[in-house]
Amino acid sequence: MAGTDQSKIRNFCIIAHIDHGKSTLADRIIEMTGLLTSREMQSQVLDNMELERERGITIKAQAVRIVYKAEDGEEYIFNLIDTPGHVDFNYEVSRSLAACDGAILVVDAAQGVEAQTLANVYLALDHDLDVMPVINKIDLPSAEPERVIEEIEDIIGIEAQDAPRISAKTGMNIEEVLKQVVEKIPAPGGDADAPLQALIFDSIYDSYKGVIVFCRIKEGTVKKGTPILMMATGAKAEVVEVGYFGAGQFIPCEELTAGMVGYITASLKNVKDTRVGDTITNALKPCDKPLPGYKKVNPMVYCGMYPADGAKYPDLRDALEKLKLNDASLHFEPETSIALGFGFRCGFLGLLHLEIIQERLEREYNLDLVTTAPGVIYKVYKTNGEVIELTNPSNLPDPSEIDYMEEPIVKAEIMVTSEFIGAIMDLCQERRGMYEGMEYIEETRAVLHYKLPLNEIIYDFFDALKSRSRGYASFDYEMAGYEQSELVKLDILINKEEVDALSFIVHAGTAYERGRKMCEKLKEEIPRQLFEIPIQAAVGSKIIARETVKAMRKDVLAKCYGGDITRKKKLLEKQKEGKKRMRQVGNVEIPQKAFMSVLKLDDK
């Protein structure tokens, strides 16, 4: 690909609010440019993972190179970079955007501008991208393209009159989108002879090729044999192969020059060495300074993960190690619980990230997991001046040693139609939100600004938000540091014994309520046993709630004759099997799903 004319390259991404049709448009573009025959075409080509297709979300950034033949006969190279859509992966989104020169903004012709539409546009503008709006789903009966165009111009402030009105689903007007990409998205710049400066926007681990780094060449040239240096991690290696992205495959080429998007493989063993956002340069002829914006991403949400079958502990470790090869933001370290045995304390970017890892472990690695309630990182300031970053409630020091504690806070923007403002404000109030203002973006819709403790939104805030606004509210947040807070550890005692895996940190003001709900939930989950089982919630030595699981009174088969034996045996076997799925804590058998019940306390 040597000597590709920079003016014939377009590097762009597609940004959208969730469900506005980002991946579908990507599919159509790939299809239209003939990269894949429609027989090969599978819905959401860029979403490789089974899980991504199923949930309709993009988890990992993906890229594809497309050749577009314009009407005048000129051939253009499009590098389309698909970005994760969820706030958990915000940093990765920001790095993907940094690899582009422009963005297609997809807006749903019925829904109009939503919270993430705005958030993503601002993100794109921050990276100096030219934003090109597209109105999607105009085939819907409820489509109002004119209104949406006005909205885009009013709210976002970008010109939208000639935005293509398309239906990515039916393929209508996609040609117009391609045409505008050539016209509206700028060609990349950069000097192929300058010192190498390449931005890593993703990396994956391949068992044959090792680490494959996805990058955008900003300056210079890289080819086989180039000695490279990762400027932030300091890792050095020699390039083994460079190439670009076919649909679902890697196509090697001679070299990558300034303006191009492609991949590099080198003698790298670990994705940890190739952090998203880092700059690759030539180790012998380094550039002056790295590209801006690199930041180490740290987990925000922690939980314990335990194999349901204790013997599978090594399998869980292997699986986590494998996942980490592809996901540098996943953290884990071994921990032991009295109730659950050996497992890992795992750190995630957010709750979705947690769920995805959990599902992948269960599906791709066939593991049965017990997950403890997710928590955030609390800062514990001890009286002796020591500061602890607490990720596991069990490690909370004795209250007498604690001076004060801090919890992470987020700034949240909630977009909602006016009829639900009251309900959503109530919700935020319940979750200890601090109201910071509200603005109407049009007559019937407003953006609410709140400061919320992260630990109040990691459980089920999103679900509650959706259910209280009949699905209309959308939500976005960013981290806003730590604030002092009155926090306590809520312990659960089952049959008078503390169950470490059920402890969690909670604000003192909601401890009573949470404790009560937790006891009620556990009462439902724990089956009757030989004796009565008290379930108690305690803060320190004070019991704040109590429920009782009554003793099993009667469990007997009235009849068992010749024809019944096989069936009765199956019944008894099932009973036995059920017991196996329980955790023995003291004398009590606790079903594994009880450990997750803390997740579902708010079912209002």
| Residues of the shown chain interacting with another protein in the complex, contacts defined by CB under 8 A | 530, 552-563, 565-566, 569, 571-573, 575-576, 579
Q: Which is nearer to another protein, 284 or 560 (CB)?
A: 560
Q: Strand locations in 487-541, DSSP E?
A: 487-494, 497-498, 504-507, 533-539
Q: Smallest distance from the beta carbon of 388 to another protein, in angstroms?
A: 42
CB 171 within 8 A of CB 32: yes
Q: Which is nearer to another protein, 542 or 553 (CB)?
A: 553
* DSSP codes of every residue in 282-319: ESSS--SSPPTT-------EEEEEEESSGGGHHHHHHH
DSSP code for 172: B
Q: C-alpha distances in angstroms, 295 versus 95, 263, 277, 512?
A: 10, 21, 7, 39
Q: Which is nearer to another protein, 42 or 575 (CB)?
A: 575
With vertex at residue 56, the alpha carbon angle to CA 366 and CA 294, rounded to the nearest 5 degrees, is: 90
Q: C-alpha distances in angstroms, 440 versus 414, 418, 433?
A: 12, 9, 20
Q: Smallest distance from the beta carbon of 572 to another protein, in angstroms?
A: 4
Q: Smallest distance from the beta carbon of 137 to another protein, in angstroms?
A: 43
Q: Which is nearer to another protein, 2 or 560 (CB)?
A: 560
Q: What is the Cα–Cα distance from 44 to 37, expressed in whole angstroms?
A: 14
Q: What is the Cα–Cα distance from 407 to 486, expressed in whole angstroms?
A: 9
Helices 313-326 and 351-364, axial angle in degrees (round to 10): 120
- Token pair of 228, please? 């490279």
Q: Smallest distance from the beta carbon of 95 to another protein, in angstroms?
A: 53
Closest C-alpha to 199, from 349, 344, 99: 99
Q: Which is nearer to another protein, 387 or 571 (CB)?
A: 571
534: amino acid identity, one letter: P
Helices (H), 39-81: 50-55
Q: Which is nearer to another protein, 289 or 550 (CB)?
A: 550
Burial of 435-447, coded b for 16+ CB within 10 Å and e otherwise, reads: eeeeeebeeebbb
Q: Smallest distance from the beta carbon of 573 to another protein, in angstroms?
A: 5
CB 545 within 8 A of CB 515: yes
Q: Smallest distance from the beta carbon of 250 to another protein, in angstroms?
A: 50
Cβ-proximal residues to 585 (8 Å cutoff; 6+ apart), any chain? 338, 339, 494, 495, 497, 499
Q: Which is nearer to another protein, 14 or 590 (CB)?
A: 590
* DSSP codes of every residue in 92-103: HHHHHHHT-SEE
Q: What is the Cα–Cα distance from 2 to 172, expressed in whole angstroms?
A: 35
Q: What is the Cα–Cα distance from 422 to 401, expressed in whole angstroms?
A: 42
Q: Smallest distance from the beta carbon of 309 to another protein, in angstroms?
A: 15
Q: Smallest distance from the beta carbon of 489 to another protein, in angstroms?
A: 34
Task: Put residue 130 in one of left, alpha, beta given phi > 0 → left and psi -120 to 50 → alpha.
Answer: beta
Q: Which is nearer to another protein, 75 or 573 (CB)?
A: 573
Q: Which is nearer to another protein, 6 or 529 (CB)?
A: 529
- Token pair of 492, please? 């659960």
Q: Smallest distance from the beta carbon of 366 to another protein, in angstroms?
A: 22
Q: Smallest distance from the beta carbon of 214 to another protein, in angstroms?
A: 51
Q: Which is nearer to another protein, 508 or 560 (CB)?
A: 560
Which residues pair with residue 43 across a beta bridge?
Answer: none
Q: Which is nearer to another protein, 73 or 562 (CB)?
A: 562
Q: Which is nearer to another protein, 311 or 556 (CB)?
A: 556
Q: Smallest distance from the beta carbon of 80 to another protein, in angstroms?
A: 53
Cβ-proximal residues to 58 (8 Å cutoff; 6+ apart), any chain? 22, 23, 46, 47, 52, 82, 83, 84, 85
Q: C-alpha distances in angstroms, 364 versus 51, 87, 210, 320, 360?
A: 10, 24, 20, 11, 5
Q: Smallest distance from the beta carbon of 575 to another protein, in angstroms?
A: 4
Which residues pair with residue 478 across a beta bridge?
Answer: 411
Q: Which is nearer to another protein, 435 or 531 (CB)?
A: 531
Which residues pair with residue 106 across a beta bridge?
Answer: 16, 134
Q: Smallest distance from the beta carbon of 596 to another protein, in angstroms?
A: 24
Q: Which is nearer to another protein, 338 or 551 (CB)?
A: 551
Q: Smallest distance from the beta carbon of 308 to another protein, in angstroms?
A: 18
